Structure 1
Amino acid sequence: MLNLNYTPEQVVDISHLTREEWLSYRRLGIGGSDVAAIMGISPFATSRDLYNDKIGVEPVIEEESNWVALEVGHRLEDLVAEIFSKKTGLEVFPVRIMFRHPLYPFMLADVDFFVRMPDGSFAILECKTCNYNAKDKWADGNIPDHYIYQVRHYMAVMNIHHAFIACLWGNNEKDFVYYPLDRDLLEEENIIEQEEYFWTEYVEKKVEPPLSGKPDLVLASIRRYSGYADKSIPEISISGLEARSLERYLSLSEEKSQLEKRKKEIDSEQKAIIVPFVEQMGQGCKALLEDGTNRYRITFSPTRRTMIGKENLEKLKVQHPDIFEEYTTETENRVFRLKKEVA
């Protein structure tokens, strides 16, 4: 049973902190945006990534982050709050303080905005933005799960029972939704239990948590903290892992190969079908065929892009090495291949 007789503690005024100072304070505990990684549902990071961040381990390979999206989201928070206020008639205000749960001091909270409710109580307002293609994730009353965990964490720290999550995905007031979220003490108890285990068993003891989460994120995490490939390392003998998982990998490879073969057959048949239509269209990009029952609208539009071919790239490297160095970026991608041999 949770003890609800508490007031959140103030850690620091964040209004004048530099980003590095703010990050240093964040490493003192678990913030709302960290929770999804602990629960294994984050679309951005694994629990291993979060662990490394909390103990100050820097990734070997610095990957370019989408700083534009992050900056846009940050700058639009005030606008999202303003739209929410106009739509609801409720007073919205910021409090630029980092708070801490007095009973679970590893729980920290930077709340976007607070809402003054008609009865004088307060609610939390979490402001989000997304691109137009992601708006369906917010349709029909849905809130992405990782944001729900974030706000439930905030309600726990602040001892507040109501919250709103608002999202803007366009430049129109109609491109906006907000949903209420009420406190769920059973879910909150589970969140606190998971966070406490992560903090006390992994972070405080400096023990790496097991790699878990979406495979793409896990593989990216391994790559980020292992560093660049080194071909001079001798062949590694693997132990403690079962060969049957590799047999399953080979089986899936064969299945994938058959599907790709069928895909090529379908592609070839489709191309054969469109030949007479393309021939009649010539340089045209749009066409119409009617058979008395249906109308078929055809488009055959061009896509063009400017690129530097491999040959010209080599010339650029030789003739203008300074420009080549300034405008090219080297990336690394490692391919896992498996070959079965008789022992």
Structure 2
Amino acid sequence: MGLNLNYTADALVSTEDMQEETWLQYRRNGIGGNDAAAVIGLSPYKTARDVYFEKLGREPEDNNTSGWEDLVAAIFAKKTGFRIWQEKVMYRHPLFPFMLADVDYFFETSDGTVGILECKTANIHTKEKWENDAVPYHYEVQCRHYMAVKNLDIAYCACLFGNSENDFVFRRIDRDLDFEKNLILQEESFWTEYVEPRIEPALSGDGDLVLASLKRYQMQRNNPDEVLIESDYGEALELIYRMKSEKAAIDSNSRKLEQKIKTAYAKFAEMLGNATKGLCVAADGSEYHISYKPMQRTGITKDNLQKMKLNDSKLYEKYATTTENRVFQVKKIVK
């Protein structure tokens, strides 16, 4: 497939003052930038099957906006000197109409070059993912999707890790037509083979994502209490059984080691008293630096929750939430 670069993105609809439900309905007409990484199996947040169900309207889509985009964009403009602006428009690729784009911001350099500005916020502990000029891959895919729709050659992905512009990075992404061609092919395959004919894609990806997807969608079905599984799956269940047994042994050993460690360092905790650090220079000159710092965590114990439930049931019901988890167990019976 050769890419025709002689095109201008279609303005599908103005999103100025658009209600969220209306916006979601339009998004179900195609694949957006937030969907792109999931469609090709590279999103840390959702699977391709999640995107499929969202397009069918089975589950409200998460806009996943932090409300800090304006601040991120303002810091970017200050650091680069680029002119920035927003366009409250949902764009559509004129040649591949299943590709949609809601762009955070656009920028223009001093020489008139126009590009995409994608604004992100993240926890400071994730800053390492941006080291050495890197961009988290799912964000890169999102920017490349937008560049394809808008037919632009440059994007910047900017991220704020706190409330200070010192905790701020921005990375340039140049258009890669080979990558773009492959991305379009995969998105087209997803749209034409699954979404349009209403065929569920196979569930694959990271285990936690898969289980979360099952919890969100499949567990809504009314299944009998017990399902008879074909005998061909016995080998797979045997593997799970063995791995869980191995993990149980490791966990048991880990707990025993943890107790031995605590017993061993109790004497040093006594030596430190109220101090938080210690230093030991061994006979061979090796230095051992010890830290024993108090860590505080604010929370409500189960006992206090029960007291709240008894003493102020209305307050308890206002803030209490119910979650459901399943524990997968395999019991082997040899006959």
Q: Kindly indicate whether residue 142 of structure 2 is the aligned counterpart of residue 150 of structure 1.
A: yes
Instruction: Describe how 1:72-91 pairs up with structure 2 within 5 A.
Output: 73-74=66-67, 76-91=68-83
Instruction: Describe how 1:62-73 pairs up with structure 2 within 5 A.
Output: 70=64, 73=66
> Which residue of the partner structure matches residue 155 of structure 2?
163
> Which residue of the partner structure matches residue 230 of structure 2?
239
- The runs of 5 or more residues in structure 2 that have no matched partner are none
Cα distance in 2 between the residues matched to 1:236 and 1:170: 49
Q: Is the 8 A contact 1:132 1:170 kept in 2?
A: yes
Q: Where does structure 1 differ by over 6 angstroms across 4 or more consecutive aligned residues?
A: none
Q: Is the 8 A contact 2:87 2:105 kept in 1?
A: yes
User: What TM-score, normalized by structure 2, do the two folds share?
Assistant: 0.90
Alignment counterpart, residue 302 of structure 2, candidates 289, 306, 309:
309
Give the 3-state SS of the residue equivalent to 2:260 in structure 1. helix
Give the 3-state SS of the residue equivalent to 1:190 in structure 2. helix
> Which residue of the partner structure matches residue 298 of structure 1?
291
Cα distance in 2 between the residues matched to 1:302 and 1:138: 28
Give the 3-state SS of the residue equivalent to 2:217 in structure 1. helix
Q: Is the 8 A contact 1:138 1:144 kept in 2?
A: yes
> Which residue of the partner structure matches residue 131 of structure 1?
123
Amino acid at match of 2:237: L
Q: Kindly indicate whether residue 90 of structure 2 is the aligned counterpart of residue 98 of structure 1.
A: yes
CA pair 188-241 structure 1, distance change in 2 beyond 3 A:
farther
> Which residue of the partner structure matches residue 255 of structure 1?
246
1:99 deviates by: 0.8
CA pair 317-175 structure 1, distance change in 2 beyond 3 A:
closer
Q: Is the 8 A contact 1:285 1:301 kept in 2?
A: no
Instruction: Describe how 1:84-233 pairs up with structure 2 within 5 A.
Output: 84-227=76-219, 233=224
- The percentage of aligned residue pairs carrying the same residue is 45
- Show CA shifts across 1:151-181 (max 9, x none): 1111111111111111111222221111111
1:87 deviates by: 1.7
Give the aligned CA root-mean-square deviation in angstroms. Answer: 2.5
- Show CA shifts across 1:252-301 (max 9, x none): 1222123223212321221221122233344x242534437436343252
Give the 3-state SS of the residue equivalent to 1:21 in structure 2. helix
- Show CA shifts across 1:187-213 (max 9, x none): 111111111111111111111111011
Corresponding residue pairs, total: 331
Cα distance in 2 between the residues matched to 1:25 and 1:32: 14
Cα distance in 2 between the residues matched to 1:313 and 1:121: 58
Cα distance in 2 between the residues matched to 1:142 and 1:110: 23
Q: Is the 8 A contact 1:228 1:332 kept in 2?
A: no
**Which of 33-42 and 173-182 deviates more?**
173-182
Cα distance in 1 between the residues matched to 2:232 and 2:45: 28
User: What TM-score, normalized by structure 1, do the two folds share?
Assistant: 0.88
Q: Is the 8 A contact 1:250 1:338 kept in 2?
A: yes
Cα distance in 2 between the residues matched to 1:41 and 1:180: 20
1:8 deviates by: 0.8
CA pair 300-188 structure 1, distance change in 2 beyond 3 A:
closer
